């Protein structure tokens, strides 16, 4: 069926997850809407769940979706201003609002971090500094001198990551010759050749293709000011980097890059022209209906630049739609500041909210849940995308993360949407069954050879892309992860497929991936608490006994890292330093993940669960919400962290609900919504 009436994508002037609004489907919640608490329930737990339920219902959009802000770091805001400067469309109002946000994120030492409470980050500090210079902040202002002094002390622009130096090269602040070469001829490599574009994860692929055009054309716009104060050595602002030994991967790829710089001078003109034209077509073909690319801000920015360099003027429909889509990543705050989201997460937020409400006892035919199901059904993706390069015979089905992204559905969202739909009593069950069947079939078809699941592609595991000199920031491949695999296994168990050979292979992979400590690595959430909170419920749902040694090891590890206040927390630094595993200030979402694992392991009466539940109850605010300034989501482990503003609401409610009513799993073959009504 066509994707008609797909919601959202709208520009929002305030956090869409915050506060009640007119005509919201569930803006009031009568006691009759919720299941009665079991006898002997701990005082305050039911009331906390009811407050959280009411608040979450008030946040639902009239179309049926939920979406919280997706907070990352100031490089999004800085690069938005640099894009506008490059295109000649930067205006005073936008600049002033962006600068207000960027200044508000600066710390006392003059630096910027990439997550709350994190260490200073050089590239983020450089980009934020340049953005404030664009906004008119004087280089001798106290906050600017603190920043520039720190930048120089830590190597200056020369020590920044490649992406930062590309942005600076666009204005002549860095020499293109001192950047890795990205030949557009890359788009001609067939999928079986190493380092073809489909060896990269979809997010990297969408960025690299337009950057091959930028790299080939090497544009330079007049710089509005100099940046001498950001060079550690102003006499040699673009120092050559030392070559690693030829016997190392780094050394081999550095020499390959040198060869590509030579090739650039002799590349056949007709071949290069054809490659850039092919790259341009590739970009245009993947533009979504709302004008964006993959629903992600960074690829959209680079795609707009590349197409403009290829001759698309700003009035061209493709460019107009692309620029309009970028406006929808802006969140205007009450103080006049403007924050840019790297992405928007309505499908993810909606399925998690529906699961939380259902598990907390909201009746399965509640209008808010039915409305959410209608919206999710309308978001189903039934056209082929890039994933078919590795799975050409697989029929489409599933869901993406964003409002509009038909090219890149993801395995994680698809699994969670199926779990959400199964909890809802919809008036058109045949429609639900059809969508679920397609989603389950697509997820099964996306299983990798090792029995596990990645996020967007199957068998996207080549080690070569991460070795390229260009790829010095974040993950550029999409190997299977424990958290995604766990969500698929949990979904398959819910569908009565726990005994399916493909499910058993996934379970075997999860058991083999357990860390010696007892936890599991979390790829898309921070970190071992997230991985463990995902895997344990999945294993138990699929028939692994709570007494299994792997489950017992996980329980012991979670108990060992519980904080004195009864909560759990884990800092992003655990991705870089394993000694941080399970350590950090308590957060509502991470406390909930740990509780979900312990509850599924049969620890409801245990002291750790009692203390964790008490922590959630005691830290809840009167309006039913929790505070969570810490970043508990992950884009790229360590390199790109996310604060999903709805996590602090949906996961604690899920944990409270499962504490009150038990695990949501029905016997194999039973419809969960029906079973839950008994």
pLDDT in tens, 300-324: 999 999 999 999 999 999 999 999 9
What is the percentage of the chain residues whose pLDDT exceeds 90? 86
Please check whether residue 55 lies inside any domain of the structure: yes
Q: Give how far Cα 462 sits from Cα of 91, 250, 483, 637, Å.
A: 43, 16, 20, 18
One domain for residues 352 and 335: no
Domains contained in the chain, number = 2
Q: Is 196 left (phi over 0), alpha (psi -120 to 50) or beta?
A: beta
One domain for residues 63 and 77: no
Please check whether residue 3 lies inside any domain of the structure: no
- Residue 510 vs residue 672, higher pLDDT: 510
Last residue of a domain, one of 319, 340, 361: 340
pLDDT in tens, 547-560: 999 999 999 999 99
Mean per-residue pLDDT for 170-183?
A: 96
First to last CA, the chain: 34
Contact 222, 162 (CB under 8 A): no
**Residue 32 above 90 pLDDT?**
no
Tokens of 11: 């520009």
pLDDT at 13: 34
One domain for residues 347 and 331: no
**CATH number of domain containing 454:** 1.50.10.20
pLDDT at 388: 97
In the three-class reduction of DSSP (H, G, I as helix; E, B as strand; rest coil), residue 420 is classed as helix
Nearest to 486 by CA among 523, 449, 437: 523
pLDDT at 243: 79
Show the domain range for 296. 73-231+238-340
H helix intervals, 7-121: 45-58, 75-87, 92-105
One domain for residues 525 and 603: yes
Please check whether residue 15 lies inside any domain of the structure: no
pLDDT at 34: 81
One domain for residues 120 and 46: no
What is the C-alpha to C-alpha distance for residues 360 and 11, in angstroms, rounded to an integer?
31
One domain for residues 124 and 244: yes
pLDDT at 38: 81
What is the C-alpha to C-alpha distance for residues 671 and 666, in angstroms, rounded to an integer?
7
Please check whether residue 488 lies inside any domain of the structure: yes
Please check whether residue 325 lies inside any domain of the structure: yes
Nearest to 197 by CA among 180, 181, 179, 185: 185
Contact 352, 650 (CB under 8 A): yes
One domain for residues 488 and 439: yes
DSSP string, 377-415: HHT---S--GGGGT-TTPPP--B-SSSS-SS--BHHHHH
The helix (run of H) or strand (run of E) holding residue 117 is: none
Mean per-residue pLDDT for 420-447?
A: 98
Nearest to 199 by CA among 210, 215, 211, 187: 187
Residue 252's pLDDT band, with cuts at 50, 70 and 90, is confident
Give 88's contacts (C-beta < 8 A, 6+ positions apart): none
Last residue of a domain, one of 299, 325, 340: 340
pLDDT at 21: 40
**Residue 565 above 70 pLDDT?**
yes
Q: Give how far Cα 461 sits from Cα of 57, 450, 456, 457, 472, Å.
A: 41, 11, 12, 10, 17
- Active centre residues (catalytic): 412
Contact 490, 543 (CB under 8 A): no
Contact 642, 631 (CB under 8 A): yes
Residue with tokens 């002037």: 13
C-alpha of 168 from chain center: 26
Last residue of a domain, one of 321, 340, 359: 340
**Residue 339 above 60 pLDDT?**
yes
Contact 250, 467 (CB under 8 A): yes
One domain for residues 77 and 54: no
- Residue 21 vs residue 370, higher pLDDT: 370
Residue 31's pLDDT band, with cuts at 50, 70 and 90, is low
Q: What is the 3 state secondary structure string of 182-224?
A: CCHHHHHCCCCCCCCHHHCCHHHHHHHHHHHHHHHHCCCCCCC
One domain for residues 35 and 105: no
Contact 634, 640 (CB under 8 A): yes
Nearest to 645 by CA among 589, 564, 579: 589
In the three-class reduction of DSSP (H, G, I as helix; E, B as strand; rest coil), residue 457 is classed as coil
Nearest to 321 by CA among 278, 284, 296, 347: 284
Residue with tokens 């009568």: 30
Residue 8's pLDDT band, with cuts at 50, 70 and 90, is very low
Its sign, for the CA torsion 131, 137, 142, 148, is: positive
Please check whether residue 475 lies inside any domain of the structure: no
Tokens of 428: 């058109």
In the three-class reduction of DSSP (H, G, I as helix; E, B as strand; rest coil), residue 338 is classed as strand
Instruction: Walk across the sheet containing 640-644 and list its strands.
Output: 70-71, 640-644, 633-636
Please check whether residue 193 lies inside any domain of the structure: yes
- The DSSP symbol for 644 reads E
Mean per-residue pLDDT for 101-127?
A: 98
Mean per-residue pLDDT for 108-126?
A: 97
Q: What is the 3 state secondary structure string of 163-189?
A: HHHHHHHCCCCCCHHHCCCCCHHHHHC
pLDDT at 253: 81
Q: What's the chain's average pLDDT?
A: 92
What is the percentage of the chain residues whose pLDDT exceeds 70? 93
Q: Give how far Cα 498 sits from Cα of 55, 123, 445, 533, 562, Å.
A: 35, 46, 16, 19, 31
pLDDT in tens, 443-501: 999 999 999 999 999 999 999 998 888 888 888 999 999 999 999 999 999 999 999 99
Give the other-Cβ count within 10 Å of 75's Cβ: 28
Tokens of 224: 């509005």
**Cβ burial, residue 600 (10 Å; 0-12/13-18/19+):** buried
pLDDT at 181: 94
Q: Worst-scoring range by mean pLDDT, 281-285, 347-351, 368-372, 669-673?
A: 669-673
Contact 658, 423 (CB under 8 A): no
Tokens of 307: 């197409």
Nearest to 205 by CA among 417, 384, 462, 439: 462
One domain for residues 643 and 521: yes
Please check whether residue 6 lies inside any domain of the structure: no
Contact 296, 341 (CB under 8 A): no
Nearest to 520 by CA among 493, 548, 486, 488: 486
What is the C-alpha to C-alpha distance for residues 354 and 374, in angstroms, rounded to an integer?
12
One domain for residues 491 and 634: yes
Mean per-residue pLDDT for 184-206?
A: 96
One domain for residues 635 and 514: yes
Give the other-Cβ count within 10 Å of 320's Cβ: 14
pLDDT at 665: 61
pLDDT in tens, 591-616: 999 999 999 999 999 999 999 999 99
Tokens of 336: 């006049």
Q: Worst-scoring range by mean pLDDT, 149-153, 154-158, 261-265?
A: 261-265
Q: Worst-scoring range by mean pLDDT, 213-222, 254-263, 570-579?
A: 254-263
pLDDT at 145: 98
Contact 304, 319 (CB under 8 A): yes
What is the C-alpha to C-alpha distance for residues 646 and 439, in angstroms, rounded to an integer?
25
- Residue 674 vs residue 68, higher pLDDT: 68
**Residue 4 above 50 pLDDT?**
no
């Amino acid at each position: 069926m066509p994707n008609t009436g797909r919601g959202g994508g709208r520009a929002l002037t305030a956090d869409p997850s915050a506060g009640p609004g007119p005509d919201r489907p569930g803006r009031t919640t009568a006691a009759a809407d919720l299941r009665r608490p079991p006898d002997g329930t701990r005082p305050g737990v039911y009331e906390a769940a009811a407050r959280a339920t009411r608040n979450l219902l008030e946040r639902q959009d009239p179309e049926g979706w939920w979406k919280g802000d997706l907070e990352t770091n100031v490089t999004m805001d800085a690069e938005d201003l640099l894009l506008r400067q490059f295109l000649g469309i930067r205006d005073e109002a936008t600049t002033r609002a962006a600068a207000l946000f960027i200044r508000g994120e600066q710390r006392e030492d003059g630096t910027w971090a990439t997550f709350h409470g994190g260490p200073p980050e050089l590239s983020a500090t450089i980009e934020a500094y340049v953005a404030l210079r664009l906004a008119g902040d004087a280089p001798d202002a106290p906050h600017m001198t603190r920043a520039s002094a720190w930048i120089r002390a830590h190597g200056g622009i020369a020590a920044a990551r490649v992406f930062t130096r590309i942005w600076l090269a666009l204005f002549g602040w860095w020499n293109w010759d001192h950047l890795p070469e990205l030949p557009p001829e890359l788009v001609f490599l067939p999928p079986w050749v190493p380092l073809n574009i489909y060896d990269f994860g979809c997010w990297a692929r969408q960025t690299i293709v337009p950057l091959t055009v930028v790299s080939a054309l090497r544009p330079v716009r007049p710089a509005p000011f100099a940046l001498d104060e950001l060079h550690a050595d102003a006499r040699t602002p673009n120092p050559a980097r030392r070559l690693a030994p030829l016997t190392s991967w780094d050394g081999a790829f550095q020499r390959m890059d040198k060869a590509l710089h030579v090739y650039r001078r002799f590349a056949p003109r007709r071949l290069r022209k054809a490659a850039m034209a092919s790259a341009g077509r590739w970009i245009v073909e993947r533009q979504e209906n709302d004008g964006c690319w993959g629903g992600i801000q960074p690829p959209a920015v680079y795609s707009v630049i590349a197409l403009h360099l290829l001759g698309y003027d700003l009035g061209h429909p493709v460019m107009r739609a692309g620029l309009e889509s970028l406006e929808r990543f802006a969140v205007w705050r009450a103080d006049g500041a403007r924050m840019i989201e790297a992405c928007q997460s309505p499908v993810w937020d909606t399925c998690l909210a529906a699961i939380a409400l259902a598990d907390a006892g909201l009746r399965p035919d509640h209008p808010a849940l039915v409305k959410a199901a209608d919206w999710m059904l309308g978001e189903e993706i039934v056209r082929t995308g890039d994933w078919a390069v590795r799975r050409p015979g697989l029929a489409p089905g599933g869901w993406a993360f964003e409002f509009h992204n038909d090219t890149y559905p993801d395995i994680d969202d698809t699994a969670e949407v199926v779990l959400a739909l199964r909890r809802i009593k919809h008036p058109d069950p045949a429609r639900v069954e059809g969508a679920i069947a397609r989603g389950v079939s697509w997820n099964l078809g996306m299983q990798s050879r090792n029995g596990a699941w990645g996020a967007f592609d199957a068998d996207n595991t080549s080690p070569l892309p991460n070795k390229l000199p260009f790829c010095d920031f974040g993950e550029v491949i999409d190997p299977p992860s424990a958290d995604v695999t766990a969500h698929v296994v949990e979904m398959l168990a819910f569908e009565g497929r726990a005994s399916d050979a493909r499910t058993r292979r996934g379970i075997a992979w999860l058991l083999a991936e357990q860390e010696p400590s007892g936890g599991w690595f979390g790829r898309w959430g921070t970190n071992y608490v997230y991985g463990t909170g995902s895997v344990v419920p999945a294993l138990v749902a699929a028939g692994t006994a709570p007494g299994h040694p792997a489950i017992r090891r996980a329980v012991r590890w979670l108990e060992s890292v519980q904080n004195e206040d009864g909560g759990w927390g884990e800092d992003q630094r655990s991705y870089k330093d394993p000694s941080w595993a399970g350590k950090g200030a308590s957060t509502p979402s991470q406390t909930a993940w740990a509780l979900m694992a312990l509850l599924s392991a049969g620890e409801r009466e245990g002291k750790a669960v009692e203390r964790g539940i008490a922590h959630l109850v005691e830290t809840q605010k009167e309006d039913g919400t929790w505070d969570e300034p810490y970043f508990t989501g992950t884009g790229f482990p360590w390199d790109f962290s996310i604060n999903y503003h709805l996590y602090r609401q949906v996961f604690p409610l899920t944990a409270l609900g499962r504490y009150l009513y038990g695990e949501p799993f029905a016997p194999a073959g039973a419809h969960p919504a029906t079973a839950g009504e008994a």
